[in-house]
Chain A
Amino acid sequence: MTNRQPVIAVIGAGIAGLEAAHQLAALGYKPVLIEKAPVVGGHVAEWNRLFPDMTPAAEVLEPLRARAEGIKTLLNTEISAINRLKDEYNIVLGDGTTLLCQAVLFATGFHLFDASRKEEYGYGIYNRVITNRDLEQWFNTRQDSRIDHPKAVGFVHCVGSRDLKAGNAQCSKVCCITAIKQAIEIKEEFPDAEVYCFYMDLRLFGKKYEDFYIRAQRDYGIHFIRGRVSEVGEAIDGRVVVKAEDTLSGRPVKVTLDLLVLMAGIVCNPDARHYAQQIGVARDEDGFLESRNNLDAITESSRPGVFFAGACTGAKTVPETLAEARSAALAIHLYLSKRA
């Protein structure tokens, strides 16, 4: 384990990039974190608390940030182009400088689905319609005039997920549990509010998720209505009127709400697809980057020297993303060791 000088470009300094960079540094490599935003932390930095234990997001992020402190990190840095050389990659950065590297790790994460594309829900048109991200921001800042002691709040699951018409057939995986988390938080904040979750299926696959759901039902009295919201309108007082079918009773339901939260789904970061295309890395049918295989090589692309960690290959939870970041670091280590 000596004389390791290869440069590894880690694209994206969210939790996947931070953790992978830290692991690579611990293995003796020189990772370079490239981040287009002015700060590290990605989406987790925008979130307030995390399911299923209501852990403050900062508690997860801080150690990751601290451990990555000594690592070369280029903030506010766009990538203009990536070129594939014989067995290296040349990354042209926004300021015109280049970075020659022996391996590239995509830690590019996801984009939240643009909820205004579901026009019938009126995001960006009806004032009381917000997204999961807007609500997290409110949890962080407590500043949003639209959230003022609501008496009735709704959550719409699967906004831009499991939606062929919106071009996203896949399940975004984390929205069900996020909706339950946010519904509980709203109920803690406003105990008198009636809270409704409109879902198609509840997909609560993770550790302690079902317990979280039972608490939402039993301890918080949150109403779960199995039916997808079909349209939203605005009443004369500015509240929103929501229509859905209660599919369990086979009847249409209508409810007037002070706040409607759209659980915007997860789509691939379009930048990631753009870079991947430049170096011949394919995109999978679901629009995310394509792994060498989806069982035992999820962190590897079909191109030598190109690796993945986190949500660039599909929706991931925080622990899954961190586990993949470590796994990708090891995969890169094996790849470079073999070459050396």
Chain B
Amino acid sequence: MIYQGKQKIWSDYQKEIPDDHWFYVRSCIRQSFFPASETHFVKIVRDLLGKDLFETPHHTTCGGIAYHSDTIPQETAMTIVARQFALMTEAGYKNLVTSCITSFGNYTEILETWREFPELEARIREHLWKACRREFNKPEYIAHASDIIYMLRGEIAERARYRLVSRATGEPVRVVEHIGCHYSKMFPHKGVGGAEYPCVLSGMVESWGGQVIDYPERRHCCGFGFRQYLVKANRGYSVSNTHKKFESMEPFRPDMIITNCPGCPYFLDRWQYVIAEQTGKTYGQNGHGIPVLTYEELAGLVLGYDPWDLGLQVHQVGPEPLLDKIGIGYDPSRKYLGLNEKDILKPGLPTVLKCC
């Protein structure tokens, strides 16, 4: 690996990310999958680092998941997105930040499509007016929330309580980074670092002391693949793609995986259980899996938030080996206590995958 070669590519794909005043749109599914990730994004960006981040309860799905699952036409998705733009315009914002990678891809694809076909934009404006009497300005800038954390990675590092290094040996934690397909594969110049060697997540990992692993199937899809999972008959393809990635990363003995997409961490996490049940194989140390974290969860850990407040107990793969390695304290008895000490019940344990 020639690190300077990657730096050269990264310098070709830098985004000028505006540093403040954001209209934040959440994801449909991330709040169920990783219930504290978006909350902690707001906590870190707005409360801790003092940025202006605005949200509205009137925001809905962007339609991206339905569009990518072939259940709504693109014009419908466009009209839904036009409504989000109207909410942003009404709130007085010009920069939009999305929590979801598919939303980011959806918004970007729609703006690019309108740039090529202005008559389509005019038609969508008409649809929106007929549907809900709203008008909008297009955002001046669209970022993914991971772009914002990437931009703030230095400030987070300055405030960090933990570094991504082994407490015992001082060696960096070995991290696999996985980028959602819709982040930069459609429009490489819209992603920090481009599509082949994105640095949006690797930049965070390196700033916080970890070591990024580049393994042969790094660019491969997580396995979700929308219809590959959503259609049950195709579900074998989904888990097979994930399996391929784990087989490829296994020799590098990663300590964790960081992701920036709603689907990727879910499938990279849950399929480890299915693969273990079907093949008897696990990919972490001593029968454990490889913990899969969102970038907000990792930023939260680095800043010293409690792992259970970050929602790590709802992951299939237990985060404990990673926490122990870095030396992050946690109270095992609080693991299954939710908000306000509510007992969220201990799940049944898998037969093969060791989950602490």
Contact = CB atoms under 8 A, between A and B. Distances in A.
Q: A–B direct touch, CB within 8 Å, in complex?
A: yes
Interface stretch (B122-130, B151-159, B213-221, B334-342): B213-221
Interface size class of B (residues with CB under 8 A): 10 to 19
A125 B218 CA distance: 14
A236 B2 CA distance: 14
Nearest to A242: B216
Contacts of B277: none
B232 interface: no
Interface string B1-34: 1100110110000000000000000000000000
A125 B202 CA distance: 15
B214 A234 contact: yes
A234 B196 contact: no
B141 interface: no
A189 interface: no
B6 A125 contact: yes
Contacts of A119: 9, 194-197
A115 B9 CA distance: 13
20 contacts: A116-B9, A119-B9, A119-B194, A119-B195, A119-B196, A122-B5, A123-B5, A125-B1, A125-B6, A125-B9, A125-B197, A126-B1, A126-B2, A231-B219, A233-B215, A233-B216, A233-B219, A234-B1, A236-B252, A238-B1
Interface of B is mostly: loop
Interface of B: 1-2, 5-6, 8-9, 194-197, 214-219, 248, 251-252
A124 interface: yes
Given A116-B8, A233-B214, A125 B2 contact: yes
Contacts of B8: 116, 124
B6 A234 contact: no
Nearest to A119: B196
A235 B217 CA distance: 10
A53 B3 CA distance: 40
A77 interface: no
Interface of A is mostly: loop
Contacts of B5: 116, 122-125
Contacts of B251: 235-236
Given A119-B9, A120-B196, A236-B252, A127 B216 contact: no
A231 B221 CA distance: 14
Contacts of A93: none
A124 B8 CA distance: 9
A202 interface: no
A119 B10 CA distance: 11
A168 B311 CA distance: 50
B196 A233 contact: no
A241 interface: yes
B307 to A, nearest CB: 30
A304 B135 CA distance: 61
Given A119-B196, A119-B197, A120-B196, A127 B2 contact: yes
Contacts of A236: 215, 251-252
Given A119-B194, A236-B251, A236-B252, A127 B218 contact: no
Given A122-B5, A231-B219, A233-B217, 17 more contacts: A116-B8, A116-B9, A119-B9, A119-B196, A123-B5, A124-B2, A124-B8, A125-B1, A125-B2, A125-B197, A233-B214, A233-B216, A233-B219, A234-B1, A235-B216, A236-B251, A236-B252
A116 B12 CA distance: 12
Contacts of B197: 119, 125
B241 to A, nearest CB: 13
Nearest to A254: B216
Contacts of A125: 1-2, 5-6, 9, 197
Contacts of A234: 1, 214-216
A58 B252 CA distance: 47
B9 to A, nearest CB: 6
A241 B217 CA distance: 9
A72 B42 CA distance: 72
Contacts of A120: 196
A238 B5 CA distance: 15
Contacts of A238: 1
A234 to B, nearest CB: 6
A119 B248 CA distance: 20
A333 to B, nearest CB: 48
Contacts of A124: 2, 5, 8
A116 B1 CA distance: 14
Given A119-B194, A119-B196, A231-B219, A127 B1 contact: yes
Contacts of B218: 233
Contacts of A126: 1-2
B27 to A, nearest CB: 29
Nearest to A243: B216
B211 to A, nearest CB: 13
A44 to B, nearest CB: 29
Interface in A109-134: 116, 119-120, 122-127
Contacts of A231: 219
Interface centre among B6, B196, B197 (most CB of A within 10 A): B196
A235 B251 CA distance: 9
Contacts of B215: 233-234, 236
Interface in A194-241: 231, 233-236, 238, 241
Nearest to B196: A119
Contacts of B2: 124-127
B222 to A, nearest CB: 16
